[in-house]
Structure 1
């Protein structure tokens, strides 16, 4: 079964919802809001351990325009909804309206559903997505609103500060070090969106054009699906180059529920759609496990475009070729294995970045290649 089939939405009936604020829309068309209003979109599920810090940070934003906080509680059992409710007077004293809705079903509907419901009750021109376990810096809304106002078809992210310090060090370094060009060229890696979902900020008009988040529930990478659709429609990807978000790592994060194979299938499909469809032939950089897995995952028409594997491992190179044993073709396809200096671009690089003490990056640089033209990373 393909990744797309696995991610099809279910037909489970809607849980009973509640909405606490006069004039709350509860899933209908958003009311007309002030053109400068920023809606902070926050799905909540059993987040009571972090909510006080998260809400205090929203309250301390230095943005001078209008704001509203839109919360959807996805069936919390730890008092999260009541905790948010206790913060309502503080927000209203600052002129920030609070919209709280949710359901009391024992079955959470998932992050995609919760985000969509929070958006549906909002009215701002701009949407600032905030996870309940993260903390925004005081200038976040102001700086991202400025960027989104100037680029209404963009998903705007930011640099992040990871806590606990040192957790997911390689991933955090990748998030914060991508160049403006790499925000578009490195969208096929296993890291996922090149600006992380908890830092997203966009115009309502662009969100509505891309469409809602996938509501398949636990295990569905709703952020990656939305991100890829935005790119298909010609959307921009921008990053404010300041740390505007304290990004918390913990074992209960929703990202841990997404299967690696699900992400792999989506990445392969998008690579074939966006890159391989434009190439007549290419070389897979890595004759090892990951390179061979990519080859086997390709459609037959793209497998036929693979003219070689390349590597630095002399043992792999000495074998001379890779035989696709699972093929039904006779004779079975045999793909040459070359030293990278004897191989020809374009390349799909299946070696993880920042894992070889700079050897991979140095080898690519030595060939004087341009990322996004002569090679793409798929790792």
Structure 2
């Protein structure tokens, strides 16, 4: 880490004692996890909060964390069950549940090494998925009367199937840009024990209504997704949340 790291993050922590304070990072080897590193370093202050549900995990990444001992003791301890447990994500969510805030010093103060034997690779995608779905339901969907899932493909349908029965009933539609999916008209939840089985309309995104849960990967459409969201004059954190 850089010689300035402790001083700069400590100064922010003094102003915000109930916060996890991070910083920008340099990833080595250069070019490893390029999209993830760009995400870490370029999130806005608002997105540190709004994008906590994405598959990237904590918006302020654990190797950069700085916080007061008092806050750590209130939130903690870390889950020490070992291999396969996403202790950083669990602590991160618990900090937010306790009313914790998030900040990032916008200086590169840490070299963040990537290697194939890192403990993070022992955590399964399904473990992370379940934690994320539960946190989304707890923090967002519980506050909404209804919503639209943006993506009628595999990821959108998987999210729908993993929701609680109460939140499944809140899904008023799927929306997409794929004409083949839109022409099908409906997604039928075949695994449902209800009769008749739930049939969720599939709409063109321009005909769907907020709020949305976006199940399209970030930084993978060359800005097309962001342009579509802007064209609908939607506000992140109010009208939509990113989930993928």
Alignment match, 1:297: 162
Question: Matched residues in 1 for 2:229 and 2:40: separation?
Answer: 21
Computed over aligned residues only, the root mean square deviation of the Cα atoms, in angstroms, reads: 0.5
| 1:149 CA displacement | 1.2
Q: Does 1:372 align with 2:237?
A: yes
| 1:232 counterpart (92, 97, 119) | 97
Normalised to the residue count of structure 1, the TM-score between the two structures is: 0.64
Question: Matched residues in 1 for 2:234 and 2:14: separation?
Answer: 35
| 1:216 CA displacement | 1.4
SS of 2:200 mapped into structure 1: strand
Q: Does 1:194 align with 2:59?
A: yes
| Deviations, residues 314-348 of structure 1 (Å, cap 9, x unaligned) | 00000000000000000100000000000000000
Question: Matched residues in 1 for 2:142 and 2:101: separation?
Answer: 21
Question: Matched residues in 2 for 1:146 and 1:310: separation?
Answer: 45
Alignment match, 1:169: 34
| 2:131 counterpart (239, 255, 266) | 266
Question: Matched residues in 1 for 2:106 and 2:223: separation?
Answer: 24
SS of 1:370 mapped into structure 2: coil
| 1:211 CA displacement | 1.8
Q: Does 1:281 align with 2:175?
A: no
Alignment match, 1:81: none
Between Structure 1 and Structure 2, which shows a larger proportion of helix residues? 2
Question: Matched residues in 2 for 1:323 and 1:287: separation?
Answer: 11
Alignment match, 1:325: 190
| 1:215 CA displacement | 1.3
Question: Matched residues in 2 for 1:267 and 1:274: separation?
Answer: 10
Alignment match, 2:109: 244
Question: Matched residues in 1 for 2:242 and 2:8: separation?
Answer: 30
Q: Does 1:185 align with 2:50?
A: yes
SS of 1:201 mapped into structure 2: coil
| 1:137 CA displacement | 1.1
SS of 1:159 mapped into structure 2: strand
Question: Matched residues in 2 for 1:320 and 1:358: separation?
Answer: 27
Question: Matched residues in 1 for 2:123 and 2:62: separation?
Answer: 14
Alignment match, 1:148: 13
Gaps of 5+ in 1: 1-135
SS of 1:179 mapped into structure 2: coil
Question: Matched residues in 2 for 1:173 and 1:240: separation?
Answer: 15
| 1:138 CA displacement | 1.3
Normalised to the residue count of structure 2, the TM-score between the two structures is: 0.99
Alignment match, 2:78: 213
| 1:287 CA displacement | 0.1
> After the TM superposition, which segments of 4 or more aligned residues of structure 1 sit over 6 Å from their partners?
none
